[in-house]
Amino acid sequence: MLGVNALLDNKKGLTYSFFALAVGCRPFSAIYLIVAFLYFILKEKKQNLEVKKMIKGNLLPIIPVIIIATIYMVYNYVRFRNPFEFGHNYLPEFSTEGGIQFSFSHFPENIKSILNLGIRFDDKLHINFNQPFNFLIANPIIIVAIYHAIKNIAKTHKISLTRLIFLSGGVAIILLTLLHRTLGGWQFGARYTCDIIPMMFLSLFFTRTNENDKAIISDGEKIECISLDRFEIAVITFGIILNVFGAVIMWQH
């Protein structure tokens, strides 16, 4: 979220740095670096900047990313003798049980897992839930982002290109996550799908499109205040209550 805040403040160096640091824990955060780069390029293109200025303005802020990536690679090599190994293969579910961490063969079963309702009550009203369960229920901001985009398209008959970039980044992370064998292991919800929450949050800020542009995909501009209807507020409220409840349940376990 620090990277998101820096992006909204147009601070390139901080944006790239925060997202690069996140890669150490969540490798798929590299998608945020790509999305942020596309966002800044698109923004400067609308300002009609010269190509040289655009290149210079985006290369210098990437230097911290190179430094952070180098440190991570050296650290990984010292620990695991592999610059690209972050330690996931040494977790018990892989080091003792074996199996392939990423594979297309995991995709069908993972689709079922993250779309499975997974929450039910027994006769004594004790909650039971599968691991993982429906990622849309656990992370309802995704529902809000998709609904908000559809509502905006229906109203304007256009979609903001900036919003499309953020939504596409979220989809890319989900698709990559579905190749992972465990989807995050023991959790309330599908933990690795939480990585797209900042991306969905960002998409809500870029709803305004150019009215004079006849193209369906139009340049997007940031709005200062997000307007939510009753349905979106209800979904967000439900999400907060569910996740507070989930935190208590997981703490008890």
Q: Given this model, what pLDDT does residue 99 score?
A: 66
**Residues 23-59: pLDDT tens digits?**
888 888 899 999 999 888 888 777 777 777 777 777 8
User: Terminus-to-terminus CA distance in the chain, angstroms?
Assistant: 28
| Whether 41 contacts 54, CB under 8 Å | yes
Q: What is the pTM of this model?
A: 0.81
From 164, 171, 160, select the one nearest 223 (Cα to Cα): 160
Q: What is the mean pLDDT of the chain?
A: 79
Mean pLDDT of 102-118: 78
5: three-class secondary structure by DSSP: helix
Q: Dihedral (C-alpha) 176, 178, 184, 190: value to the nearest 10 degrees?
A: 110
| Whether 107 contacts 178, CB under 8 Å | yes
Q: Given this model, what pLDDT does residue 155 score?
A: 81
pLDDT score of 127 more than 80: no
Q: Given this model, what pLDDT does residue 216 score?
A: 56
**Residues 79-102: pLDDT tens digits?**
888 888 877 777 666 656 666 777
Q: Answer left, alpha or beta for residue 99, where phi above 0 means left and psi between -120 and 50 means alpha.
A: left
| Whether 181 contacts 137, CB under 8 Å | no
pLDDT score of 130 more than 60: no
Helix (H), strand (E) at residue 128 = strand 127-129
Q: Given this model, what pLDDT does residue 86 score?
A: 79
Q: Given this model, what pLDDT does residue 95 score?
A: 59
Q: Given this model, what pLDDT does residue 211 score?
A: 57
Find which of 46-60, 109-123, 230-244 is predicted with most confidence, using mean pLDDT: 230-244
β-pair partners for 217? 159
When pLDDT is cut at 50, 70 and 90, the band that residue 16 belongs to is very high
Helix (H), strand (E) at residue 25 = none
Q: Is the dihedral of CA 175, 176, 182, 187 positive or negative?
A: negative
The b/e string for 166-194 (b: 16+ C-beta within 10 A; e otherwise) is: bbebbebbbebbbbbbbbbeebbbbbbbb
pLDDT score of 242 more than 90: no
**Residues 181-208: pLDDT tens digits?**
777 665 666 677 788 888 888 888 877 6
Domain ranges of the chain: 1-86, 100-253
Check residue 132 and report its DSSP letter: S
